[in-house]
Chain A
């Protein structure tokens, strides 16, 4: 039962990164792809009706993590106290920037919120990457299952790690580049020339950086967290996830040269899914490795809630997900196609 929930939570986090990832990425590339006021509105318009729904995956994943693995929730959220609260502040600023930007026609109002929007999107991407880096690297858990990490210590790996060290910064940069690519592909898909061309150009340049960093963190991760290569050696079929990521990455390049924005974007989704599931596979059954003493690590077994709750949860979770799938298909169909300013009907 706990294994099922491990994968369901991994699925929800992956959905969050794939979906909110493109609107975060759109935020990152926003100042570069859109130059005039109307172009900027157009790019925002491409995420306007969907970004809030995408962000709900974060809340739903958080809630699911809470009830399925309460020990993990308690330990990781209090241990990552400062970065999580900073993420909350960034989410607040970003949400407000998107919603308030078009409330006022003024030469000072919109540009201010555009900067807030891009900056918050960028920092969120880095923080999410650093968060994954922390979970993979492990944290200084004590015997009671708690830890506390300051934002940084000496930027080295070791016993007294901070949230940011060279490894987690590296993962943070990878996340930033990945979401930049992802967002640029989304913007190219949803807009027409000249924004589309600029977005494609950014995507094809950033692609090389993404490829380089992917290679780099793969090599480094195998050294930083020996559990990952050990697990892959034990179950080589786990390389399938890595293969999915690699195929996705190569196909992004291929479809970019073909000018097929939709398939390029979907390939980028495949790349992200492959990367995140590789991480999940590589860690299982650990959910939070301890850097202090391997015996203190949190696993699906010692972090899970009682079986009765997990069984009941499965029933409503499946019903809920069927509904959610229906909503998302409907919304994305309803708002499908290129965005144009003339069919603005919002308030």
Chain B
């Protein structure tokens, strides 16, 4: 049984991690495309229309992969997590079904119009299609976050006679305070990914001295939006999310921070390796009292360590949780440094000649993906050993009839298929970037 549990967890972890590489770009990029379309409309400038069309191509490829890798996510609740679905389907089925009915139809309709209808719709109609794609994808994000937030912090439910969980308040489910902060934190993370990708492509054009006019537009827009996003990500979004964890999942906070013992004036660990067996942090680099301040806004406040909680409620992979959290926070800090310097140079008017800074922007492309992924690992590994926090253990949630062997078969299949998709994806994206925003006068066909 333990074996099947591991495979089912790997199955979901692998498919969802891969899937989220695409929406994190498209959700953020949808916003940047709306800004480009707005600039095009306001200034009546074909340059911005072309820029938007270029990003629409990248958007379309990412969106297609997001859609095809997203369908397995909804299905897996039933295929691999049947016991969980049976107990909680009446609640989380609500938000998942709403996502289908309210956002997927909206997105698919307006994406079709956005990609195929620019000529027939005219500039205003096309702006509207872009805006609706943005709205649809951000609505979709909310409903998924609300689903996850309910698993992190269940609200608005009752437990029925045979152990099933019944929805008792629709609005509590939708307006879960956890969902609101997690949503802002997550969507802003998507904007950060899109800004770094756009800045990276722009910097690549400037450094290789082609499509330089577009390179400037991309870097300018990406850094302008990016500098705001990276700062907001630290405060208030990340901070609020962290305090949410501290309040509702204190054992998770202790594990994330590698805090084994309860302390007054608890320090925050910048570096260090948690040794769970010996219950200590090796080679720690600490900022004294910082954790107490961040969680309770008092320097000498007491922060509960892992020692305060029964071991069966500890997250089951503390090192992974600790490292993913530290990778996310560490990268977030570096992003602030990069974007603030870039924005300062942009303001001074020296950014486009600063080859060093352009190199940094170009090479930073993978890091927001890593940070977003690490953030999600923190959230999901941090919720363990529960699938619904405090209500249902992950081990109780798997499909009782699906053997480890069958789950391995499909996991290997997904791995093979996603490897092929990755190669195709990189190849096609490379071609779009290589050809640039002005591949001849003829409109490329779909």
Chain A residues within 8 Å of B, Cβ to Cβ: 41, 45, 48-50, 52-53, 55-56, 58-64, 66-68, 70-71, 73-79, 81-82, 84-85, 88-89, 91-93, 95-96, 99-100, 102-104, 144-148, 305-306, 308-309, 312-313, 316-317, 320-321, 323-324, 327-328, 330-331, 334-335, 341, 343-347
Residues in B neighbouring A78, C-beta threshold 8 A? 78-80, 82, 399-402
Chain B residues within an 8 Å CB radius of A60? 97, 100-101, 104-105
Residues on the A chain within 8 Å of B72, using CB: 85, 88, 92
Binds A, one of B53-61, B281-289, B381-389: B53-61
Whether B74 lies near A63 (C-beta < 8 A) is: yes
Stretch at the interface among B112-120, B219-227, B262-270: B112-120
B67 near A95: Cβ-Cβ < 8 Å:
yes
Task: Give Cα A313–Cα B409 distance, bound, in whole angstroms.
Answer: 36
Question: Roughly how many angstroms separate A23 CA and B399 CA in the complex, as a whole number?
Answer: 33
Interface string of B92-120 (1 = CB under 8 A from A): 11101111111011101101110111111
Partner-A contacts on B (CB < 8 A):
53, 56-57, 60-61, 64-65, 67-69, 71-72, 74-75, 77-80, 82-83, 85-94, 96-102, 104-106, 108-109, 111-113, 115-120, 160, 164, 166-168, 170, 399-402, 406, 409-410, 413, 417, 421, 424, 428, 431, 443-446
A49 to B428, CA, bound (A): 21
Which residue from B56, B68, B94 sits with its C-beta under 8 Å from A67? Answer: B94
Identify A74's interface contact among B82, B102, B104, B170, CB under 8 A. Answer: B82
Selected from B78, B100, B443, the residue in CB contact (under 8 A) with A73 is: B78
- Once the chains are docked, how many angstroms separate the CA of A95 from the CA of B96? 21
- B113: chain A residues at CB < 8 Å are 49, 331, 334
- B100, B104, B168: which has the most chain A beta carbons within 10 Å? B100
- Most chain B CB atoms below 10 A, which of A70, A75, A306: A70
Which of chain A's residues have a CB closer than 8 A to the CB of B102? Answer: 316, 320, 323
B85 touches A66 (CB 8 A): yes
B57 / chain A contacts, CB cutoff of 8 Å:
347
Asked if residues A308 and B167 are in contact (CB atoms below 8 Å), the reply is yes
The answer to whether B101 touches A346 (Cβ under 8 A) is no
Complex Cα gap A48–B117 (Å): 12
Known A78-B80, A81-B402; judge A347-B446 contact (CB<8 A): yes
| B381 CB to nearest A CB, Å | 24
In the complex, besides A146-B400, A327-B109, A331-B112, 11 extra interface pairs with C-beta distance below 8 angstroms are A48-B112, A60-B104, A68-B93, A70-B90, A85-B79, A89-B413, A96-B64, A96-B421, A103-B61, A309-B167, A341-B445
Question: What's the Cα separation between A88 and B421 when bound, in Å?
Answer: 14
Residues of B within 8 A of A344 (CB): 443, 445-446
Q: Which residues of B contact A77 (CB under 8 A)?
A: 75, 77-79, 82, 85
What distance in Å separates the Cβ of B209 from its nearest Cβ neighbour in chain A? 26
Q: Which of B164, B410, B413 has the most CB of A within 10 A?
A: B410
Most interface-central of B65, B67, B164 (chain A CB within 10 A):
B67
Residues in chain B near residue A335, CB distance under 8 A: 112, 116
Residue of chain A at shortest CB distance from B168: A308
CB <8 Å contact, B71 and A59: yes
Is A324 a contact partner of B105 (Cβ separation < 8 A)? yes
Bound-complex Cα distance A104 to B444 (A):
10
Minimum distance in angstroms from B236 CB to a CB of chain A: 30
Q: A49-B116, A81-B406 are in contact. Are A63 and B64 (CB under 8 A)?
A: no
Q: Which residues on B sit within 8 Å (CB–CB) of A334?
A: 113, 117, 120
Contact of A63 with B97 at beta-carbon distance under 8 Å, contacts A308-B168, A347-B53 already known:
yes
- Chosen A-B contacts, 10 in total, with CB atoms closer than 8 Å, are A53-B108, A55-B71, A59-B74, A66-B89, A67-B91, A68-B93, A84-B75, A85-B75, A309-B166, A335-B116
Q: Which residue of A lies closest to B432 (CB)?
A: A103
B421 closest partner in A (C-beta): A96
With a CB–CB cut-off of 8 A, which chain B residues contact A59? 71, 74, 100, 104
Question: Are B69 and A92 touching (Cβ within 8 A)?
Answer: yes
CB < 8 Å: which of A92, A148, A343 contacts B71? Answer: A92
Residue of chain A at shortest CB distance from B53: A347
Nearest B-chain residue to A75, judged by Cβ: B82
Contacts A70-B93, A313-B97, A320-B102: A103 and B431 contacting too (C-beta < 8 A)? yes
Q: Are A67 and B85 in contact (CB under 8 A)?
A: no
**Contact between chains at B79 and A99 (CB < 8 Å):** no
Give the contacting residue for A305; candidates B77, B93, B413; CB below 8 A: B93
What residues of B have a CB within 8 angstroms of the CB of A103 in the complex? 61, 428, 431
Could you say which residues of chain A place their CB within 8 Å of the CB of B75? 62, 77, 84-85, 88
Q: Which of A48, A55, A345 contacts B443 (CB 8 A)?
A: A345
Is A306 in contact with B167, judged by CB distance below 8 angstroms? Answer: yes
Q: How far is the CA of A324 from the CA of B107 in the complex (A)?
A: 11
CB <8 Å contact, A70 and B85: yes
Question: Given the complex, which residues of A lie within 8 Å of B85, measured CB to CB?
Answer: 66, 70, 73-74, 77
Rounded to whole Å, the gap between the CB of A4 and the closest CB of chain B is: 15
Closest to B446 in A: A346
Pair A63/B89 contact, Cβ less than 8 Å: no
B160 surroundings in chain A (CB, below 8 A): 306
* Alpha-carbon distance between A56 and B100 when the two chains are bound, in angstroms: 7
Which residues of chain A are near B170, meaning CB under 8 Å?
Answer: 309, 312
Q: Which residues of A contact B88 (CB under 8 A)?
A: 70
In whole angstroms, what is the CA distance A330 to B104 when docked?
16
The residues of B that contact A55 with a CB separation of less than 8 Å are 71, 108
Contact (Cβ within 8 A) B67 A52: yes
Among A53, A71, A76, A81, the one with the most B-chain Cβ atoms within 10 Å of its Cβ is: A81
Chain B residues positioned under 8 Å from A148 (CB to CB): 401-402
CB-contact partner of B77 in A66, A327, A331, under 8 A: A66
Q: Give the distance in Å from the alpha carbon of A127 to the alpha carbon of B89 in the complex.
A: 25
Q: Which of the residues B79, B104, B115 comes within 8 Å of A56, measured between beta carbons?
A: B104
Tell me which of B83, B92, B105 has the highest count of chain A C-beta atoms within 10 A of its own C-beta.
B105
Q: Which residues of A contact B104 (CB under 8 A)?
A: 56, 59-60
B271: shortest Cβ distance to chain A, in Å? 41
How far apart are the CA atoms of A3 and B120 in the complex, in Å? 44
B443 touches A317 (CB 8 A): no
Which of chain A's residues have a CB closer than 8 A to the CB of B406? 81-82
- What A residues does B56 contact at CB under 8 A? 347
> B71 to chain A: which residues have CB within 8 Å?
55, 58-59, 88, 91-92
Interface contact A95-B424, CB-CB below 8 Å: no
